[in-house]
Copies of this chain bind each other. A is one copy, B any other.
Amino acid sequence: MAKIVSLREAVGELVHDGDTVALEGFTHLIPFAAGHEIIRQQRRELTLVRMTPDLIYDQLIGAGCARKLIFSWGGNPGVGALYRIRDAITRGWPAPLAIEEHSHAELANRYVAGAAGLPFAVLRGSAGTDLPMHTPAVSIVRCPFTGEELTAVAALTPDVTVVHAQRADREGNVQLWGISGVQKEAVLAARRALVTVEELVDELEPVAGEVVLPRFVVTAVAEVPGGAAPSYAHGYYARDNTAYRDWQRISRDRETFAAWLDELQKAEAVGEPGE
């Protein structure tokens, strides 16, 4: 059953050097605060998994937390490139970064297989493209009824999945709504799950479109208001598109990024006691 803890404590206990870590949230509810706390606690050698690395993985990778990235679309949506990730892939700065890349459908189905307790999932996938030859997690399976060949993807089971949600109750049941992406599958596929929430409430009022994560699949919940900014939390605050546009300038240059990182490391974690 879920424990209610501080973000610092949660990251300290649940995220270890060398872990496979998924921070999910498809544009919406990206767990930025938790990612920043992972940077502050200087985790290293992580395998980072996210369908859309977004700014948060540009930051984690620029900060040297990762040795591998598993992803399916790595841009700054509607704006441009993620230069810290490019720098790591193409020039090994600040550390070499291995990549394993997929189509969205393939990566989503790797989580589905993990959530379902199966070793693989079947889909039509990226047949014919050059993608499968570059990832060992994609193979072929033959339908035992029709003989048709289909794509198989290996289950993904992160050591820890981190997501952000609008609300949790005090038992640790989590509720999120709006665009829900692959969060349910990423949590169910993981060995441990950390959820940051906008607010803890006494009772979860039902909401249309809600996804509920019951307390027995959540390891820890931390209350972190604003924990998804500069992405957004449906019903709480909007996406800070300016921050996304500004990131181009910060990300492009190693020194500008280093200055940003310094500031981050000086700042306290949001939602900490005493703040």
Q: Which residues of A does B touch, CB under 8 Å?
A: 116-124, 137, 139-141, 143-146, 148, 150, 152, 154, 206-210
Contacts of A140 in B (CB 8 A): 144
Distance of A153 from chain B, by nearest CB (Å): 9
Contacts of A208 in B (CB 8 A): 206-208, 210
Assuming the A-B contacts A208-B207, A208-B210, A209-B206, are A144 and B120 also in contact, with contact meaning beta carbons closer than 8 angstroms in the complex?
A: yes
Assuming the A-B contacts A206-B209, A209-B206, are A119 and B139 also in contact, with contact meaning beta carbons closer than 8 angstroms in the complex?
A: no
Question: Are A124 and B119 in contact, CB atoms less than 8 angstroms apart?
Answer: no
- The CA of A152 and the CA of B148, in the complex, are separated in Å by 13
Which residue among A119, A139, A207, A210 has the maximum number of chain B CB atoms within 10 Å of its CB? Answer: A119
- The CA of A119 and the CA of B210, in the complex, are separated in Å by 31
Majority secondary structure, A binding face: loop
Contacts of A144 in B (CB 8 A): 120, 139-141, 152
Identify the closest chain B residue to A150 (Cβ). Answer: B118
Contacts of A148 in B (CB 8 A): 119
Question: Are B118 and A123 in contact, CB atoms less than 8 angstroms apart?
Answer: yes
Question: Are B120 and A143 in contact, CB atoms less than 8 angstroms apart?
Answer: yes
Contacts of A120 in B (CB 8 A): 122, 143-146
Assuming the A-B contacts A208-B206, A208-B210, are A143 and B122 also in contact, with contact meaning beta carbons closer than 8 angstroms in the complex?
A: no
- The CA of A124 and the CA of B113, in the complex, are separated in Å by 12
Question: Are A117 and B122 in contact, CB atoms less than 8 angstroms apart?
Answer: no
Q: 19 A-B Cβ contacts within 8 A? A: A118-B122, A118-B123, A118-B124, A119-B143, A119-B145, A119-B146, A119-B148, A120-B143, A121-B122, A122-B122, A139-B145, A140-B144, A141-B141, A143-B152, A144-B152, A206-B208, A206-B209, A207-B208, A208-B210
- The CA of A146 and the CA of B118, in the complex, are separated in Å by 10
Distance of A16 from chain B, by nearest CB (Å): 25
